[in-house]
Amino acid sequence: MTERISFQLNGREAVVDADPEMPLLYALRGDLGLDNPHFGCGLAQCGACTVHLNGEATRSCVTPVAAAKGAKVTTLAGLGSEKHPHPLQAAYVEEQVPQCGYCINGWMMTAAALLKSNPHPTDAQIREGLSGLKCRCGTHMAILRAVKRAAAMA
């Protein structure tokens, strides 16, 4: 059984006709044609699917699309723009973080939520806030430097 579900996506109205229990990730990628967030593990363990749901970092692979009804959903594409990048986006470029780029969505969206709730975290708070995210390229130290750089920009 499908249901019409509407929500704000990166500041614009979005509507999907879907089974309310379908993962939000599937609606974002399949129904709305986004190329981020990414599908990683499907078990909320890697973070590649992270979006902000009403400002909170949320693993969209295990979040039913019904949870987005009437909510604000922000993806990496809605975090900033080329002309006005989010401080994390600018810091990732300055620290040359990206390698394969597959996991960046999760790291950046999780870090953005962390910096929103704690604009000047300690190294330990950054590590704790980003725990559970996976990167096979081994860019962890560059990611930590980028989050610290972004916090310093605030």
Q: What is the four-CA torsion angle of 139, 142, 147, 148, rounded to 10 degrees?
A: 150
- 79-153 placed in CATH 1.10.150.120: yes
pTM above 0.75, yes or no: yes
Amino acid 8: pLDDT? 98
Q: Start-end ranges of CATH 1.10.150.120 in the chain?
A: 79-153
Mean pLDDT of 33-37: 95
Cα dist. 137→42, 58, 60, 102, 146 in Å? Answer: 20, 23, 23, 10, 16
Residue 55 CB partners (closer than 8 Å, separation 6+): 72, 74, 113, 116
Q: Start-end ranges of CATH 3.10.20.30 in the chain?
A: 3-77
On the question of pLDDT at 99 being above 90, the answer is: no
On the question of pLDDT at 154 being above 80, the answer is: no
Amino acid 98: pLDDT? 84
On the question of pLDDT at 100 being above 90, the answer is: no
Amino acid 61: pLDDT? 98
List, in sequence order, every beta strand (DSSP E) within the chain: 3-9, 12-18, 50-53, 56-59, 72-74
Spatial contact of 61 and 40, defined as CB atoms under 8 Å apart: yes
User: What φ, ψ does residue 51 adopt, rounded to 5°?
Assistant: -130, 170
Mean pLDDT of 108-116: 98
Q: How confident is the model at residue 146 (pLDDT cuts 50, 70, 90)?
A: very high
CATH architecture of 3-77: Roll (3.10)
